[in-house]
Each structure stands twice: as structure tokens, then as C-alpha cells.
Structure 1
Amino acid sequence: MTEPVRPDSRAPRLLARLTQGAIPLTAAAEVFRAATVRAHRLHPASTSAHRAAFASMLLAYAATAAAVLFLVWFSRCRKNARLISPDAALGSDGWAVAAWLVPVANLWFPRGLLLGTLRASGPAADGRRDDLLVNAWWAAWTGHALLAVVAQSGTSLPLMVLSTALFVAAAGLIVVLIQRVTSRQDAALAALRPTARAAV
């Protein structure tokens, strides 16, 4: 049975804004960490190990905050997507969160989960643009994740620069996707919301 759309049903706009603010901060922390760690590996005598450790810790805190905000936003959006598109096959909420955290699974399943939520969030003017945007984000995200593992053990400047560039690109694209999902849900929920009867 489909849950009715309550008069106070809204897209999670505040959560979206908080997440959109946390993600660029995380990208900036990643750039700072990559530059600091590389400088320490190349010139350990002149670059403090403490500074490199601080940069890594800063990234860990920023990434954790952004991840928590994103997962809460994503969970709320999936609930809204069920109201908007009751027939959409969105899967379980537990898996929708776990898929982002389970190693190896998080390299593939989030793409389908995000695309499914976007499609179920309301009608699209151009569905191909949605696919392109999600695929571009997914390629940047997985590319960064794979390169980061390789770059972790070496001092290769090209690998570190490419890994960080992909991280920044993925951050920018997910900010756009958050905006797209939230705006679409806002419009769809407003259209479904019961209207007050006009006074006679």
C-alpha cells in the first residue's frame, strides 16, 4: 500500500544544502592532503610528518561529515521517490545505504541506486542527460577510488594529480546531482500535495 503524500511532504532542501557545502570542503581537504603528503614523501627533511598527518586527519573528518550528510539526504530522497513513483523498483533502504560502504560493491551499485532515485524523483525533460550526468559522476568516482589505491604506495606526481582531479570532478558532479534530485522532488511533491478546498 502506497503511503499518501502528506501536506507537509517536502524535498530535503536543508539537508541538500548542508551536503552540498560539505562536499566541496572535502574536495579542498583532499587537494590539501595530496599536496602535503606528496611534499613530505619527496622532501621528508623539509616537510613535517606532523603536517602530512594533520592533512590526512582533516580529510578523514571532512569526508566522514560529508558521507553522513549525504547518506541521510539520500535516504530521505528515496522515501520521497517512493511517494512520487510508487511503481519504481528502488530496492531496500538498508542496502541503499550499505552499498555505499561495502568495499567493491561501492564501486558499482551506487550508480544504479542514484540513477534509480533520480528517475523516480519526477519527470525529466531529457532522460539521457540524467544518464550522462550519473555516468560521468560514477566514472570520476570509481576512477579516483582505483587510482588512489595505486597512488597510495608511490610518489608518482601524475597519478596523484589525476586521482585528486577525479575526486574534485566527482565532488562537483555529485553536488549537481543532489541539486537535480532535490529540485525535481520539490516540484513533484508540490504537484501531488492535496490542495486546500476553496472557501465557498
Structure 2
Amino acid sequence: MKKVMYTLMLSLVVLGGLVLSFAPFTEGSDANPEVKNETAKKPIQKRLSAAEIDIEMKKWEATPAGIQYKKWEASPAGKKVDAAEIKIWKHIKNYTNMEGVVTSLSLPPGSKLGLGVMVKIKDENYIVTFDAQKSQLEPLHSLKVNDKIIIKSHNVSHAPKYAYPILSCGYLERDGKVIFKRIPRKGGC
């Protein structure tokens, strides 16, 4: 009797193993990880050449948003923002100190730039934004109007919605004390 039970159990194990080993190869089965990975892979987008970038830019400029942007860029308001950017471009490019004075602790009405202040640098007003983590907020909230500060930034941008260039602050100092230093995000940018 023991031999019969042993033989039956062994045959069930062998048959079960065979059935399970062939199951992933059935059509429509999600058990085969190789098939799943092949379909899940996204094609890698190649970088555009300079000529392709120019073509895409011309396409965008022909859209209503592109036409509106070009009109703003040629308007007195757009030219004023561009001139303000040019005044600090050398500092942005070289990531050097810019002396400024805090003129407002709030951003223009309707802005959606997050935490920021208005700062006057070289007789021009700028929106200064902070990509701050929670641990960095308290020192930033200690800023007051008319505080003299030193700013470093790698990036200046503009948008038709705003009458001022937008500086992304990388470093801010007040009275020789570092108030803010941008912490790079993990995994890139």
C-alpha cells in the first residue's frame, strides 16, 4: 500500500510540474515575464538635431500660442523683460553673486510660481522663486522687505503672464549668513 501511495504522489508531483512549466507558453498568458517586458519597453526618443529643433520651433511659432508669444516678445513689456535678463546674464552664466534688495514678500497677483519674493537687482525688479524643501522654509520666512541679500542662480526665465524675469534661486545669503541653498533632487534635475 505504501508503494502505491508513494507512486501516486510522485506521479502527481511530476504531472503538476509539467503542467506548470508549460503554462507560461500558452497564448494570452501573463505568466511569461519575457513577453511582458518586451511590450512594456518604451522606445527611446532620440535627441533632435539643430535643424529638427528649428523645424519644430517654426511649427510652434505658427500656433496661436506661438503667435501670441512672439507678439509679447516684440511688445514694450517683452522688450523690458528681455533687457532686465540681459543685465544679469553674465552672473547667471557664471553662477556669481548678485546683490539685491527684497522689495516685496509676495509675488504678483495670480502668479503660480510657488514660494517666492520680489527683488530689485541693478535697478530692475525680478521674481525670485525657491525650490525649497520643508526644512528650508523657516529661514526663508524670516526675510523682510528692504533686506539686502546676495543671490546666485543658474536659471532666468520669462513668460508673457509676468512683467518681470523669473530667477530660480540656487543660493541666498543675508548679512553673511546662508539663508537658502538649493538641494538637488534625487534621480536627476
Which bracket does the TM-score occupy, shorter chain normalised? under 0.3
Superposition TM-score, scaled by structure 1 size: 0.21
Radius of gyration: which is bigger?
2
- The structure richer in helix per residue is 1
Higher strand share: 2
The answer to which structure, 1 or 2, has the higher relative contact order (CA under 8 A, 6+ apart) is: 1
